[in-house]
Amino acid sequence: MLGSNLKILVIDEDPGRAAVLEGALVEAGYTHSVTLRTNSNLHQRIMALEPDVVIIDLQNPDRDTLESMFQVSRAVQKPIAMFVDQSDDDSIRRAVNAGVSAYVVDGLKKDRVKPVVELAVSRFESFSRIVRERDEARTALAERKTIDKAKGLLMDRRQISEDEAYRMMRQTAMQQSRRLFDIAESIITAFELDAQLFGGADHG
Amino acid sequence: MVSLVKPMVRAGFVALTDCAPLVVARELGFDERAGVQIEPVRLPSWSAMRDHIAFEKLECAHMLGGLSLAMHLGLSGVKTEMVVPLLMGRGGNSITISKSVHEKALEAKGGSYIGNRANSASLIAPIVEGRKEKGLPPLRFATVHAFSSHNYELRAWLAHGGIDPDKDVQLTVVPPPAMVGAMMKGEIDGYCVGEPWSQLAVEAGIGCIVATKADLFPQSPEKVLAFRRAWVSGHGDEAAAVVDAVAGAMTWASVPGNHEDLAYMLSRSEYLGVDQDVILHGLMCMPRLTPGQDRMPIRHYMSFDGPGFAYPQQSSALWLLAQMRRWGQAPAGLEEYAGKLCDPSLIEKNVRYSVESKFRKDVGPGDNAFDGINFDGENIEDYWRSFPIGGALKAS
């Protein structure tokens, strides 16, 4: 398979993402890939491995250390340059948005490196989509709980039905053009404050 | 109704005390009064900053002068034409060595060091030599980026003490906010970094400041306000407004009575996330150099206002290019193109500036340099070749 003998080093602090990318690389036939999670012994590891391609998160602070090693020829045999296909604006933009940076051994042919970078970009993209969806789901769940709690407080204190409590909150939200969740938070705060100021006992 | 929304300009910064002008411009509304909205974006390291500028994720940044020049010349990352319309002050950097190395160095000197800070590399020279004789690994020093004033200051300081930075010690790069941690873990024996990361090592009791930028190259460029030139070409008014806002913020930040407010502002987690007193001591030019000892005044330890501190002279770019030449980072013959980095045209259109001391043009970047070698922007080759280490001895 083309490029399968490339030695690829993945440096990523996020173990989940690193695992996703490593799996994808092996599946694509890049069996010589190695993943590092931290900067411990970065120097020795790189010297021992002599990678052809290094994939690292654009925001990773270790990049500066890595770049300085590449500039010192003693540490790395072959000079390494940042890989950017300047003829291809779209792929630069995609890589930057996905947070991928790649370094390759000088002189390595573009068509051998590009599939690796593209693979990394697509895995970074799908990983951040999964994380985003997970976070959104968590937020939605937390909001749901807050709304239910506010509804319960209203039902209890005002002796009204669930439907009435919900309608009351909906109506207030619409009148004030605020989110239902914000109204729910205000209700909870108001009840808590009330309990603190006037003593919770009277109010149940 | 007139639109109150001002055009948004994304400005990168690294968590350092000298990002203050950008923060002040935003927090105190200098930006909106000038007609723009500055959105400060914090980045974890200088290479991330460089790439965010190059790939158009930012319009401008609080940046290492050297790195903006390296981008401009295509020496770091993707070649990107840059322009620097404003320098963002002076000083702020210190050379810190670990407490254990400091103690060993003083022991060898009989318990105390008498001499000026600019010569303090002579303190560690016996240790460097001793480790070589014993076959021990060399001392490790970190700077914040290969193309940083910190790298040039550390190298010049070492060389002045007879230590060849390329042969006698090991140099590495660590982003500023990670510096104290790296020393704590014993990964490095010393470093050169901007505030508050020098004061923090002293307050943590793990490091001693042995020299400051003010002792070495007091007039040399430090951080700059750097733009992608292509953006400035299409957004001249916005760029001028950003310069206006940041220059105004520099004046505010240099007033001693504002330092406590400024330290508080910067201490917040979205900016530096460091205790405000640690930041304040640097801003006041009253740093503590050794754990447990009194703080002491150092003139222009860091400053946003002083003669010529903001004016973007071509010779500032040439001074940086000369350092790159000295340490083998740049080929010959780039003077003319390098000079184009610094462009005073934006500030010269603004009459308010002409009366301010920080826009004086008669102060050179090499003035009062500790090594006594005269810097001449017209002839940088002779300048750098006249150094015994990093100069004449090296071919090319």
pLDDT at A129: 86
Q: How far apart are CA B49 and CA B57, in angstroms?
A: 9
Residue of A61, A71, A84 with shortest CB distance to B175: A61
- Using CB atoms, pick whichever of A64, A84, A86 lies closest to residue B173: A64
Residue A68 touches chain B, beta carbons under 8 Å: yes
- Orientation angle between helical segments B259-267 and B276-283, nearest 10 degrees: 140
Is pLDDT larger for residue B278 or for residue A75? B278
Looking at the complex, does the CB of residue B259 fall below 8 Å from at least one CB of chain A? Answer: no
**CB within 8 Å: B45 and A67:** no
pLDDT at B11: 98
Instruction: Report CB contact under 8 Å: B57, A96.
Output: yes
Q: Give how far A201 is from chain B: nearest CA, Å.
A: 40
B393 falls in which pLDDT band (50, 70, 90)? Answer: low
Sign of CA dihedral B215, B219, B224, B229: negative
Cα dihedral B73/B74/B80/B85 (nearest 10): -30
Question: Cα separation of B323 and B64, whole Å?
Answer: 14
Cβ of A101 within 8 Å of Cβ of B43? The answer is no
pLDDT value at position B145? 95
Amino acid A74: pLDDT: 45
The domains found in chain A, sorted by start residue, are 8-132 (3.40.190), 137-203 (1.10.10.10)
For residues A176 and A179, what is the distance between their CA atoms, to the nearest angstrom? 9
Distance from CA of A166 to the nearest CA of B (A): 37
Do B288 and B200 meet the contact criterion of CB atoms below 8 Å apart? no
Q: Provide the CB-side half-sphere exposure for B4 (13 A, CA).
A: 1
B376/B322 Cα distance (integer angstroms)? 10
B226: enclosing H helix or E strand = strand B223-228
Give pTM, 2 decimals. Answer: 0.86
User: A64 and B174 in contact by Cβ < 8 A?
Assistant: yes
Structural domains of chain B in order of their starting residue, each with its CATH number: 8-90+221-284+302-385 (3.40.190.10), 93-216 (3.40.190.10)
User: Chain A contact for B51, CB < 8 A?
Assistant: yes
How confident is the model over B326-342, as a mean pLDDT?
A: 94
Residue B109 near residue B39, CB atoms below 8 Å: no
Q: Which of A60, A64, A92 sits opposite B145 (nearest CB)?
A: A64
Percent of chain B with pLDDT strictly greater than 70: 97
Handedness of CA A152, A154, A160, A164 (dihedral sign): negative
| Torsion (CA) B221, B227, B233, B237 in degrees, nearest 10 | -90
- Residues in A closer than 8 angstroms to B51, CB to CB, are 58, 96, 101
Q: Answer with the residue of higher pLDDT: B2 or B264.
A: B264
Assess: ipTM above 0.85.
Answer: no
pLDDT of residue A59: 85
**For residues B193 and B93, is the Cβ–Cβ distance under 8 A?**
yes
Confidence of residue B395 (pLDDT cuts 50, 70, 90): very low
Residue A18's φ and ψ, nearest 5 degrees, are -60, -40
Contact B48 A63 (CB under 8 A): yes
Q: Which residues contact B130 (CB under 8 A, 6 or more apart)?
A: B136
pLDDT, residue A96, reads: 84
Residue pLDDT, tens place only, B215-237: 999 999 999 999 999 999 999 99
Give residues 154 to 183 of A whose Cβ lies within 8 Å of B.
Answer: none
pLDDT of residue A73 exceeding 70: no
CA nearest B42: which of B65, B23, B64? Answer: B23
